[in-house]
Chain A
């Protein structure tokens, strides 16, 4: 994919996020700038505490930034009001959490429905659950599902919203090799099929070949950015 075509889609420009705990100031992100093109799979890697989650949260409109601009499809979300941010999250973003965050009192299907029922063009929740291989488990509550199954429900929930931008924080962190692979494949396929932009945060450097773009983060700054002209399909990656 041509970089020039997709430059405008996501652009972080001199973004700084400062946490203040008492006297101490911690820069989770310090003057970070990068771009991601539309329809790309972008993997963000970095050590623990590098600022990956912070970055994703800001991109997802869940957190505010201290300085800089975040452009998405020509809009600066750094200047959004609370309500605009909510609308942004509602229609543009799908979020897969590091710790699933399913609602305990809802069945797998209902957790997906919870997301799909507020969107304008959702996918059919049951179909999405089927796609992630949980057709049989749709009536189960989260506590009755394994970690991997819960993660898949979380992904189904994000996908069902049919978002333009899918953000995944350590989607395979809690999963075994095979399940992780299935999930990643699902992400890759969906991205390709729906021309969805996917941002994946991970520790796992081995999966980098599947991405169109790999950004390495280190103490709140971009250490390196690397565009992969020929991403490898997930099934061909071994780790």
Chain B
């Protein structure tokens, strides 16, 4: 056995490797989702990611926090503060961005320090690793004085020095969330010490609950929903108690105040009356002493009594007055507790489905490798058994049983299968999740390396499939031969009979072909099994490459397509406050001349869901202001919206939504399963609206909905006022320069350049190259194994033929060409088939990657096709180069000595 393997290590290795490749791909892809989720689970556990988050309209005081902490099922509860504020980074002239400022929690949602140190003083902070890096340590973040008074009052410090860069378990994807200030999107978060906040109450409580199971598991969901219920109850009763106390306090305070006020008034009136009395008395004395007057005769005591009774109020009246007073006073409403879970965390919500994309591809790729593995095995075993025919015959004639004779082949193929299976399994479950993890790191801020998961069931399945591809096909193969009689076996098997191929019947073509091409063609059709194996293997290689390049092409082109074809404006301006006529004209005064044209819009984010039901998503609504005129002569307010955004569907320009209508982007429409004419419900800060989808516009990246100004007004507080604008810069200026200048204009909070967005997206996709590299490697391995196996068998089978050709005087090149020409032909043919197959594969993959924020069109591009084809040919050529020495090494005299 060992001797058998050593005598032809190439053959054995070919089976082993192709099985390993198949099993590796299969197990790797299968385990990917599990690995990703386990890794994330481990990380979130390590950082003590919250399970439940409590928010109260009243805030929480220390007692309430203790109360929550005391609840059963609570590991740790920790209070925190947060606010969104406009802020700017010291040394960058980037303008103001909306930043989420959050207090550092020490036991829950522990930030992972990546660089620098933890903040100590109140004016120090940790910064978001997505927006900042090591060189930002030491720079300062200044909270703008444009922020609301509440925000400014809440923060003790207005300037924070970055002491470290961190990764927060709360922010594991690129999403930073929405806000009601600035552009409406948060661009980063910073974590500051608690003492930086000046507040009597915690804004939120993060709870690490006792939970079962892994994230996304039913057990986990169940335990969280139980904890959620219990905590809500506890929090609500505590809040109610405090609210009662606040109200009681306010009431008694108000009562005291009213009484005080009344006392003061009473005193005033009394004094007035007494003064009048005194004047009256003096006057009387001065006129006639004898005259008596009732008024004058009123005693001081009487007056007091009279006033007393006039100011006396009933309890009822008092309560009414207190209520009136309280209604005017700035008192909180009855407390409302919102209980959130990880589902409200963007990264948590998306990770599950994103991780499942990979396993959906898992079904098709490995199938294909296994098919090739089975073919490689069958050709090799066929060759082996044919080599040994005579020997098998002798064994059989000596009385050995079929099983005994077959055992050698089973052992041979089985050991290749098992070794390949085991090797492939362990390599696969390590390499693929790593590659995918790295790939996902472009959209998720993933920590370190994924966990290494061993899955026994998957392992056994992999081995079973490996054995199926080797031992089983060997068994089929053996049966064919071993069912023959011993005598037949001892006689050499007639070589495959030469046959005319179909093409020969088409004389004109056949006659025109060169002699050697005819030979090649005939050989091609002689061994159909090999033809098939080569076709599947090589076309598979090309298909893999096409899909790989295609995915890269799709993602790399996405940014430029979005900002070249669909988003036409050069920059989006967000204003510090909604514009009034006055602020608009002062902005226009500054900005006149800087922009070629501008359109004002009102943008707010809210939720959207199909009225028919289903999940809801967050989206930014835009209402374009097509009525406003410019206040400046040289400010071109352009109300032609098509100059700024390309809203079209299938080449048809869509009209702007009327009142009660909404234009939705393709990605969101697909994810919510909406089509034109469907009803949707949107909810904003000021209520809900039922709208009709009037059109679905094509888009590539991100989501957005267009609604009318009227609808905006209905759903959002201050929705009618413009708070942003789209601008086009003059053709002859550099956009970055223009953006910077515009940022200086009054009331401008920020300018987002489309160019930057496109570049950022493209550069964030660079991790894809890693996955493409893995694909190229696998494709190469596939091509090599198939070509090696085939050529190897071909050469050993046609040894005599090659020797004859060499004796006839074919030079080495010619002899190689004689053997390889059919490989080359097949490679070209398979490559062409592979291009088609690759396109199908890409369509399949793209179909599986259905993210709301991405609309992918499976386009490979000429470079992708050409590259795949050229690479395939290169693999094939390299292999031929490698096999040349085999042909050169054929010894003519030796090979031709034996009987045929």
A53 to B497 CA separation, bound complex (whole angstroms):
29
B472-505 near A? 1/0 per residue, CB < 8 Å:
0000000000000000000000111111000000
A18: Cβ under 8 A from any B Cβ: no
B806: Cβ under 8 A from any A Cβ: yes
Shortest C-beta distance, A239 to chain B (Å), equals 25
Residues of B within 8 A of A53 (CB): 893, 897
A142 to B811 CA separation, bound complex (whole angstroms):
25
Listed stretches A6-14, A99-107, A218-226; interface member? A99-107
A104 to B899 CA separation, bound complex (whole angstroms):
14
Q: Is the CB of B809 within 8 A of A86?
A: yes
Residues 93-117 (chain A) with a chain B CB within 8 angstroms: 93, 95, 97, 99-107, 110, 113-115, 117
Shortest C-beta distance, A135 to chain B (Å), equals 19
Q: Is the CB of B494 within 8 A of A143?
A: yes
A170-213 near B? 1/0 per residue, CB < 8 Å:
00000000000000000000000000000000000000000000
Q: Is the CB of A118 within 8 A of B810?
A: yes
Contact check: which of A63, A86, A104, A143 meets B810 at CB < 8 Å? A86
Contact check: which of B523, B809, B893, B896 meets A99 at CB < 8 Å? B896
Listed stretches B72-80, B135-143, B402-410, B797-805; interface member? B797-805
Q: Is the CB of A110 within 8 A of B519?
A: yes
Shortest C-beta distance, A32 to chain B (Å), equals 17
A122 to B519 CA separation, bound complex (whole angstroms):
20
B331: Cβ under 8 A from any A Cβ: no
Known: A97-B896, A105-B523, A118-B810. A110 touches B497 (CB 8 A): no
Q: Is the CB of A106 within 8 A of B519?
A: yes
Contact check: which of B497, B523, B800, B811 meets A86 at CB < 8 Å? B811
A142-167 near B? 1/0 per residue, CB < 8 Å:
11100000000000010001000000
A97 to B806 CA separation, bound complex (whole angstroms):
13
Nearest CB in chain A to that of B888: its residue: A82
Q: Is the CB of A99 within 8 A of B808?
A: no
Q: Is the CB of B810 within 8 A of A95?
A: no
Most buried by B among A97, A105, A115, A118: A105
Nearest CB in chain A to that of B894: its residue: A63
Contact check: which of A63, A104, A118, A157 meets B498 at CB < 8 Å? A104
Residues of A within 8 A of B810 (CB): 86, 90, 118
A91: Cβ under 8 A from any B Cβ: yes
Q: Is the CB of B812 within 8 A of A104?
A: no
Nearest CB in chain B to that of A89: its residue: B809
Q: Is the CB of A107 within 8 A of B498?
A: yes
Contact check: which of A57, A91, A102, A105 meets B809 at CB < 8 Å? A91
Known: A62-B893, A141-B498, A143-B495. A114 touches B900 (CB 8 A): no
Known: A99-B900, A101-B896, A118-B814. A89 touches B808 (CB 8 A): yes
Residues of A within 8 A of B464 (CB): none
A142 to B809 CA separation, bound complex (whole angstroms):
21
A90 to B497 CA separation, bound complex (whole angstroms):
28
A222 to B519 CA separation, bound complex (whole angstroms):
43
A175 to B522 CA separation, bound complex (whole angstroms):
30
Residues 760-819 (chain B) with a chain A CB within 8 angstroms: 800-801, 803-812, 814
B882: Cβ under 8 A from any A Cβ: no
A60: Cβ under 8 A from any B Cβ: yes
Known: A110-B515, A110-B519, A114-B805. A83 touches B811 (CB 8 A): yes
Residues of B within 8 A of A90 (CB): 808-811
Residues of B within 8 A of A82 (CB): 812
A217 to B809 CA separation, bound complex (whole angstroms):
28
Shortest C-beta distance, B417 to chain A (Å), equals 33
Contact check: which of B496, B515, B893 meets A57 at CB < 8 Å? B893
Nearest CB in chain A to that of B818: its residue: A114
B681: Cβ under 8 A from any A Cβ: no
Q: Is the CB of A114 within 8 A of B498?
A: no
Q: Is the CB of A104 within 8 A of B495?
A: yes
A75: Cβ under 8 A from any B Cβ: no
Nearest CB in chain A to that of B523: its residue: A105
Residues of B within 8 A of A232 (CB): none
Residues of A within 8 A of B803 (CB): 101
Shortest C-beta distance, A57 to chain B (Å), equals 5
A87: Cβ under 8 A from any B Cβ: yes
A107 to B495 CA separation, bound complex (whole angstroms):
14
Known: A107-B498, A143-B495. A101 touches B800 (CB 8 A): yes
Residues 848-900 (chain B) with a chain A CB within 8 angstroms: 892-893, 896-900
Q: Is the CB of B808 within 8 A of A113?
A: no
A50 to B69 CA separation, bound complex (whole angstroms):
103
Residues of B within 8 A of A91 (CB): 809
A115 to B812 CA separation, bound complex (whole angstroms):
15
Nearest CB in chain B to that of A94: its residue: B808
Q: Is the CB of A86 within 8 A of B812?
A: yes
Residue tally, chain A, CB below 8 Å to B: 39
A117 to B814 CA separation, bound complex (whole angstroms):
12
Residues of B within 8 A of A115 (CB): 808
Residues of A within 8 A of B807 (CB): 60, 62, 89, 95, 101
Residue tally, chain B, CB below 8 Å to A: 32
A119 to B810 CA separation, bound complex (whole angstroms):
10
Residues of B within 8 A of A89 (CB): 806-809
Contact check: which of B494, B497, B814, B892 meets A62 at CB < 8 Å? B892
Residues of B within 8 A of A118 (CB): 808-810, 814
Shortest C-beta distance, A226 to chain B (Å), equals 28
A113 to B808 CA separation, bound complex (whole angstroms):
11
Residues of B within 8 A of A54 (CB): 893
Q: Is the CB of A117 within 8 A of B515?
A: yes
Shortest C-beta distance, B539 to chain A (Å), equals 25
Nearest CB in chain B to that of A97: its residue: B896
B342: Cβ under 8 A from any A Cβ: no
B518: Cβ under 8 A from any A Cβ: yes
Q: Is the CB of A93 within 8 A of B809?
A: yes
Shortest C-beta distance, B559 to chain A (Å), equals 55
Nearest CB in chain B to that of A54: its residue: B893
A114 to B814 CA separation, bound complex (whole angstroms):
12
B526: Cβ under 8 A from any A Cβ: yes
Residues of A within 8 A of B498 (CB): 104-107, 141-143
A89 to B812 CA separation, bound complex (whole angstroms):
13
A97 to B522 CA separation, bound complex (whole angstroms):
24
Contact check: which of A93, A105, A117, A144 meets B522 at CB < 8 Å? A105
A110 to B501 CA separation, bound complex (whole angstroms):
14
Nearest CB in chain B to that of A91: its residue: B809
A63 to B515 CA separation, bound complex (whole angstroms):
29
Q: Is the CB of B811 within 8 A of A101?
A: no
A101 to B518 CA separation, bound complex (whole angstroms):
20
Shortest C-beta distance, B17 to chain A (Å), equals 30
Residues of A within 8 A of B519 (CB): 105-106, 110, 114
Q: Is the CB of A113 within 8 A of B809?
A: no
A40-64 near B? 1/0 per residue, CB < 8 Å:
0000000000000110010010110
A103 to B523 CA separation, bound complex (whole angstroms):
11
A143 to B893 CA separation, bound complex (whole angstroms):
23
Nearest CB in chain A to that of B809: its residue: A90
A141 to B515 CA separation, bound complex (whole angstroms):
16
A84 to B658 CA separation, bound complex (whole angstroms):
88
Residues of B within 8 A of A141 (CB): 497-499
Residues of A within 8 A of B805 (CB): 103, 114
A20-49 near B? 1/0 per residue, CB < 8 Å:
000000000000000000000000000000
What are 17 inter-chain pairs, A to B, with CB distance below 8 A?
A53-B893, A57-B892, A62-B892, A63-B892, A87-B811, A89-B809, A97-B804, A103-B805, A105-B496, A105-B519, A105-B522, A105-B523, A105-B526, A110-B519, A114-B519, A115-B808, A141-B497
Q: Which residues of B contact A (CB under 8 A)?
A: 494-499, 515, 518-519, 522-523, 526, 800-801, 803-812, 814, 892-893, 896-900
Given contacts A143-B497, A157-B808, 12 further A-B contacts (CB under 8 A): A57-B892, A62-B893, A83-B812, A86-B806, A99-B896, A99-B898, A99-B899, A101-B800, A106-B498, A114-B515, A118-B810, A161-B809
Rank and list the top 10 A-B pairs by shortest CB-CB distance, nearest first: A90-B809, A141-B498, A89-B809, A63-B893, A105-B498, A62-B892, A57-B893, A101-B804, A104-B495, A62-B893
